[in-house]
């Protein structure tokens, strides 16, 4: 009986951070359904040994340098890069759709009515640049500018001896410059960082400088690293980049390359983020009086759970008349109108970042019926939700072809 071919897959991915671990979980989820895949964690040092690299049938790696990329290229084996820093022709790339990340961050803060915005890069590379571009572009469309922390002060990722990203939860090397920058920003301000670690650092610097988070500085990170987000004070809001899906897609892509050959041109697949996981660091609204800000936070948290205006009045412990008057005078909208607006924004987010059908989106957004959702969405945006989703997807496709 013929022995079945076993494919040896080299994984060169750091596991010190949640992002790396979740990538590996996605890869493993794919591999566990195949009895012909054997996964092997490797280091760059392993890759330098000819007999080790030649024994592999393919690689999934976070490629962090030109030398790293050339070494993988020299194997002649299929390579899927899940960092997208220095890809070479013949590589496949599976990465976060960074444009959607920047858009989500901007929408998160715009929904909370911020007028001052800032971007604090971290790590360098394409991720930071793409997130910034999309974030700033969306704010400009809404009529706002964005303060950007100077790139000359930006802290790059530390790499260990194996070219693995090695993030340590510690005060940053540029702490004094960062504190000066944060103090100089107009308040209240919404700050987006394309890294939970950077957001964690900003949180700490604000606390030591006497800057209130989130009242004066609202903070949003990227990666939804539970350990980093959960140990920040207050806990950090973060964008979930759908990392397990990236890992699973990378494994599927490698399998296709092993079966059908290495593409002549670089193949790029982009995975949209899951969404914003809102926590205390951005749960605020830059409005006065304070009880109005509390009301808006309550609506943001609970609109998708089917609340009504009466629930808002009861939670605030204030009369229908006084709350309604304040909403109209300051926000130019009724309480029920704000609830409906928040539900529609949630629906747009789900249309952009999920493949849920229209009925599922209506329910998850808090609408009482699909018919009401269709009517409300079409009235607000002049097209039905399915058409709106198709238009957004087509615009994204045109930008990347």
Domains of the chain: 7-96+244-274 (3.40.50.2300), 98-242 (3.40.50.2300), 290-399 (1.10.10.60)
Residue 50 pLDDT grade (very low, low, confident, very high; cuts 50, 70, 90): confident
241, 19 Cβ separation under 8 angstroms = yes
pLDDT at position 333, please? 94
pLDDT of residue 172: 83
Cis peptide before 214 (omega within 30 of 0): yes
pLDDT at 224: 94
Q: Over the chain, what is the mean pLDDT?
A: 89
* Model pLDDT, residue 237: 97
What DSSP string describes 164-224? -B----S--TTHHHHHHHHHHS-SSEEEE-SSHHHHHHHHHHHHHHT--TTTTEEEEEES-
Average pLDDT over residues 299-304: 92
Give the mean model confidence (pLDDT) for residues 76-82: 94
Q: Which residues pair with 219 in a beta bridge?
A: 191
DSSP letter at 327 equals I
Angle at Cα 290 formed by Cα 277 and Cα 207, nearest 5°? 60
Rounded percentage of the chain residues whose pLDDT exceeds 90: 67
Residue 61: strand pairing partners: 12, 81
Cα 109 to Cα 214: distance, rounded to the nearest angstrom: 12
Contact 239, 275 (CB under 8 A): yes
pLDDT over 90 (residue 307): yes
- My answer on whether omega of the bond before 9 falls inside 30° of 0, hence cis, is no
Contact 63, 87 (CB under 8 A): yes
Q: Does the pLDDT value for residue 350 go beyond 80?
A: yes
Mean pLDDT (whole number) for 196-225: 95
Closest CA to 135 of 127, 146, 124: 146
* 362-371 mean pLDDT: 94
pLDDT at residue number 14: 84
Examine the pLDDT at 157 and tell me if it is beyond 70: no
Highest mean pLDDT: which of 160-174, 202-216, 276-290? Answer: 202-216
User: Strand locations in 263-381, DSSP E?
Assistant: 267-271, 275-277
- Checking if the pLDDT of 143 tops 90, the result is yes
> Once rounded to an integer, what is the mean pLDDT over residues 118-142?
90
Considering only residues 294 and 3, tell me which one the structure prediction assigns the higher pLDDT: 294
Q: Residue 100 pLDDT > 80, yes or no?
A: yes
Q: Report how far residue 357's alpha carbon sits from residue 95's, in angstroms, rounded to the nearest whole number.
A: 25
The predicted structure's pLDDT at residue 2: 55
Rg of the chain over Cα atoms, rounded to whole angstroms, equals 23
CA dist 371 and 246 (Å) reads 35
152-170 mean pLDDT: 53
Q: Is the pLDDT of residue 401 over 50?
A: no
The residue ranking higher by pLDDT, 124 or 6, is 6
Q: Average pLDDT, stretch 218-237? A: 94
Any idea what DSSP says for residue 156?
A: B
- Rounded CA separation 121/119 (Å): 6
Query: In whole angstroms, what is the distance from residue 244 CA to residue 256 CA?
Result: 19
**Least confident interval from 2-16, 148-162, 329-343:** 148-162
Closest by alpha carbon to 55, among 6, 2, 3, 14? 6
Cis check: omega of the bond before 289, within 30 degrees of 0:
yes
- Quick check: pTM over 0.75? yes
What mean pLDDT comes out for the span 118-136? Answer: 88
Give the pLDDT of residue 163: 46
Nearest C-alpha neighbor of 281 from the set 168, 205, 199: 199
What is the pLDDT, as a whole number, of residue 124? 67
Mean pLDDT of 333-343: 95
Q: Is the pLDDT of residue 126 over 80?
A: no
* pLDDT level of residue 161 (50, 70, 90 thresholds): very low
Query: Any residues with CB less than 8 A from the CB of 119 and at least 6 apart, and which?
Result: 131, 132, 135, 136, 146, 147, 148, 149, 191, 192, 193
């Amino acid at each position: 009986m013929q022995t079945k071919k076993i494919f040896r897959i080299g994984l060169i991915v750091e596991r010190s951070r949640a992002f790396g671990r979740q990538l590996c979980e996605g890869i493993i989820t794919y591999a566990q359904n195949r009895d012909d895949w054997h996964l092997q964690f490797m280091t760059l040092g392993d890759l330098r040994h000819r007999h080790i690299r030649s024994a592999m049938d393919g690689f999934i790696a976070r490629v962090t340098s030109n030398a790293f990329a050339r070494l993988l290229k020299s194997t002649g084996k299929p390579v899927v890069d899940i960092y997208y820093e220095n890809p070479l022709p013949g590589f496949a790339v599976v990465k976060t759709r960074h444009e959607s990340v920047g858009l989500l961050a901007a929408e998160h803060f715009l929904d909370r009515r911020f007028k001052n915005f800032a971007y604090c890069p971290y790590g360098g590379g394409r991720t930071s640049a793409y997130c910034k571009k999309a974030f700033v572009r969306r704010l400009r469309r809404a009529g706002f500018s964005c303060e950007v922390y100077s790139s000359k002060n930006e802290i790059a990722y530390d790499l260990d001896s194996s070219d693995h990203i090695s993030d340590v939860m510690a005060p940053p090397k540029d702490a004094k410059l960062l504190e000066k920058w944060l103090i100089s920003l107009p308040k209240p301000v919404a700050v987006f960082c394309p890294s939970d670690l950077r957001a964690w650092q900003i949180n700490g610097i604000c606390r030591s400088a006497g800057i209130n988070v989130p009242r004066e500085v609202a903070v949003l990170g990227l990666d939804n690293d539970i350990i980093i987000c959960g140990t920040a004070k207050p806990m950090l809001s973060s964008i979930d980049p759908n990392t397990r899906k990236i890992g699973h897609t990378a494994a599927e892509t490698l399998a296709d390359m092993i079966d059908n050959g290495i593409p002549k041109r670089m193949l790029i697949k982009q995975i949209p983020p899951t969404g914003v996981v809102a926590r205390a660091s951005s749960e605020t609204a830059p409005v006065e009086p304070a009880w109005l800000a509390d009301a808006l936070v309550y609506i943001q948290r609970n609109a998708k759970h089917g609340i009504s205006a009466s629930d808002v009045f009861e939670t605030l412990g204030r009369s229908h008349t006084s709350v309604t008057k304040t909403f109209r005078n300051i926000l130019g909208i009724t309480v029920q109108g704000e609830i409906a607006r928040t539900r529609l924004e949630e629906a747009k987010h789900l249309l952009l970042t999920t493949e849920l059908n229209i009925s599922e989106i209506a329910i998850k957004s808090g609408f009482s019926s699909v018919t009401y959702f269709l009517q409300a969405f079409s009235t607000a945006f002049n097209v039905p939700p399915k058409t709106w989703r198709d238009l957004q997807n087509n615009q994204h496709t045109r930008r990347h072809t």
